[in-house]
Structure 1
Amino acid sequence: MSSSLRRGVLAAAAIAFSVTALSACAAGNNAQTLEVKPDNAETSVGGIRLQNVVVITQPTTQASGETKGPAVVSASVFNNTGTAQTLDAVRIEGGGSAEITPAKGKGRVTVPAHGSVLLGGKGNASAVVTEIGESVADGNAQKVTFTFSTTGDVSLRAFVVPADSYYTKWGPSAVPSAPQTSPKPTGSATPTGTATPSGSGTPTDAASASATATESAATH
């Protein structure tokens, strides 16, 4: 995919994501606004409906333009069945499995009967993939598989986008940098020895004897 085409895909994904996110916030699952299929990934299987699925990577590095992990999967998950289901796994093709964390507490993310769960964003449940493969590149449509306790696997293709502009608040936390430590000396600088004078400032025995002999000769 060319760079210009990829930029167009990212722009279209951002617009679709913002529109559908606002629609979901303003209306319920069965509202008419949600009947309009967005450009972003959406599918329904066995009463489970996935909408607005996006894989969000680290912000783009202007110098390299590389896609970097970790990445998060953002999605609206609706359960139209009469039984609560747990979200047991989220996998990105070429990127591995995500670590799923509920919005509060520990354990699995539960999608209540006739209810919904939002993945991604502050205060919501999260699905984080620590390492992503080279095949997961910004602008691509990557296969993402959600596994539910009753419905099983639900797969679709979702846009891969960097956490820039609108996606900043939905993207992964910044990768922590290695702490900088000040250099430590290898050892304390101690003197190799004290400087002592090579001799005292008094005349030596030989010098004293020579002076005595000179005085004796002078008296005679």
Structure 2
Amino acid sequence: MSRSLRRGALAATAIVFSIAALSACGAGNDAQTLGVRPDNAAVTVDDVKIQNALVITQPEPGAAGPAVVAATVFNNGRAPQTVESITLPGTTATVKLKAKEGAGPIVVPAGGSVVIGGQGNASATIENGHEAAKNGDAQKVVFKLSKTGDVALSAFVVPASSYFKDFGPAELPKPPATATTPPATPSGTATPSSTATATATAGH
């Protein structure tokens, strides 16, 4: 593994611990867990801060299926903002957003935050993720907020394994179906149907 990839892996590991802590306790901007600020994983534009951004792919390399964007979005303004879209420039990926409640847009309350990714949180699913992102890369991700506009940063791309398995795609590839072959009848052994036929014939 190259030095740059090792640095990326270590930084991404630190990120996921921070996300997990935020998801569990709903920590705010002053939480100690937010002291982790790895390169290319956090950005602030006006009242909006995006931190701990990751693109998480399928657990098996090259597996078909969706990927997800995981991040924490802070709103230090006095009015709520809506995450209108998340895009991955340079790819044809489509990102489907879903609020924590399952209906309506992802709203970041004034003076609050929203965790995207992980069970029980809002989600951002990359429909064709296996084609859009490669593990080990740093992928540019753009969050479009209703008032702030575009907020861009580079997110590490990691598989949904080890520390990241609880934040990865909810939909995993199904194992291939295996055809079942009925057991062969040994040669010379009468089947129940043939035995019944022979008995009926002998009776006449």
Q: Deviations over 1:93-135 (max 9, x none)?
A: 3252310001114111100000100000000000001103646
Equivalenced residue count is: 177
Residue 14 of structure 1 contacts residue 166 of structure 1 at CA under 8 Å; is this kept in 2?
no
Structure 2, unaligned runs of 5 or more:
181-204
Q: What is the rounded CA distance, in whole Å, between the counterparts of 2:62 and 2:176 in structure 1? A: 23
Deviations 1:52-83 (A, max 9, x none): 000000002xxxx4365411000010000000
| Structure 1 residues 42 and 68: CA distance shift in structure 2, 3 A | farther
CA root-mean-square deviation: 2.7
Equivalent position SS for 2:155 = strand
Match of 2:170 among 170, 173, 178: 173
Residue identity in the other structure for 1:138: N
Give the structure 2 partner of residue 154 of structure 1.
Answer: 151
User: In 2, are the aligned partners of 1:69 and 1:131 still within 8 Å (CA)?
Assistant: yes
Aligned to 2:107: 110
Name 2:79's counterpart in structure 1. 83
| 2:11 aligned partner | 13
Note the C-alpha offset of 1:38: 3.0
Unaligned runs of at least 5 residues, structure 1? 184-220
Amino acid in the other structure paired with 1:57: T
User: AA paired with 2:144?
Assistant: T
State whether residues 62 and 130 of structure 2, in contact with CA within 8 Å, keep that contact through their aligned partners in structure 1.
no
Larger radius of gyration: 1
1:176 and 1:36, CA in 2 relative to 1: closer, same or farther beyond 3 A? Answer: closer
1:39 Cα deviation from its structure 2 partner: 4.2
Contact 2:141 2:155 (8 Å CA) reproduced = yes
Q: 1:16 offset after TM fit, Å? A: 1.4
Displacement of 1:159: 0.3
Partner SS, residue 34 of structure 2: helix
Residue aligned with 1:41, SS: coil
Letter in 2 for 1:168: K
- Asked whether the equivalents of residues 40 and 154 of structure 2 are also in contact (C-alpha less than 8 Å), the reply is no
Letter in 2 for 1:149: S
- Distance of 1:67 and 1:6 partners within structure 2: 24
Equivalent position of 2:46 in the other structure: 46
Higher RCO structure, 1 or 2 (CA under 8 Å, sep 6+): 2
TM-score by structure 1 length? Answer: 0.70
Separation of aligned partners in 2, 1:26 and 1:38: 21
Q: Percent identity?
A: 45
Counterpart of 2:14 in 1: which secondary structure? helix
**Separation in 2, partners of 1:52, 1:133:** 21
Contact 1:144 1:158 in 2 (8 A): yes
Question: Structure 1 residues 35 and 47, CA, compared in 2 at 3 Å: closer, same or farther?
Answer: farther
TM-aligned CA deviation for residue 5 of structure 1: 4.5
Which residue of structure 1 lines up, in the alignment, with residue 197 of structure 2?
none
Cα distance in 2, alignment partners of residues 35 and 160 from structure 1: 21
